[in-house]
């Protein structure tokens, strides 16, 4: 992947949208291939979407059920990106690197707790 730093040659319009889509797809693909947690969350989403339609008749409830699982995936992607940047800087142990990774993991934990809370409150 090459990124042009020259603003004059940056794609615009449809070309920019196509590039953005391609880079996003590369990120999703890399996360699925490299991150077991993300793969698991994809499978949870694939189960959650039909379940949301089966278990709820209200659009807002469905949106909350599905959106809460999507939020977990978004936070997982951000955590994975954070970990990649920290690892790119260096593999030696550093208090701030450890703290950053722990906070990213805590964010994923809170997103999972949020999803469980939403599913629990709406379904039980």
- Look up 61 and say whether it is catalytic: no
**Tokens 């936070």 map to which residue?**
75
Span 51-95, pLDDT tens digits: 999 999 999 999 999 999 999 999 999 999 999 999 999 888 999
Domains of the chain: 36-123 (1.10.287.3610)
Confirm whether pTM is higher than 0.75: yes
Q: Which of 35, 61, 76, 95 is catalytic?
A: 76
* Spatial separation of the C-alpha atoms in residues 104 and 33, rounded to whole Å: 20
């Amino acid at each position: 992947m090459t990124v042009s730093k020259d603003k004059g040659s940056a794609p615009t319009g449809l070309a920019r949208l196509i590039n953005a889509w391609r880079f996003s797809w590369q990120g999703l693909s890399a996360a699925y291939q490299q991150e077991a947690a993300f793969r698991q969350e994809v499978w949870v989403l694939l189960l959650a979407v039909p379940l949301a339609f089966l278990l709820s008749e209200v659009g807002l409830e469905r949106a909350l059920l599905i959106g809460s699982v999507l939020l977990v995936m978004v936070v997982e992607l951000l955590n994975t990106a954070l970990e990649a940047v920290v690892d790119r800087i260096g593999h030696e142990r550093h208090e701030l690197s450890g703290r950053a990774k722990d906070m990213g993991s805590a964010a994923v934990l809170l997103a999972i707790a949020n999803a469980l809370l939403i599913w629990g409150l709406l379904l039980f």
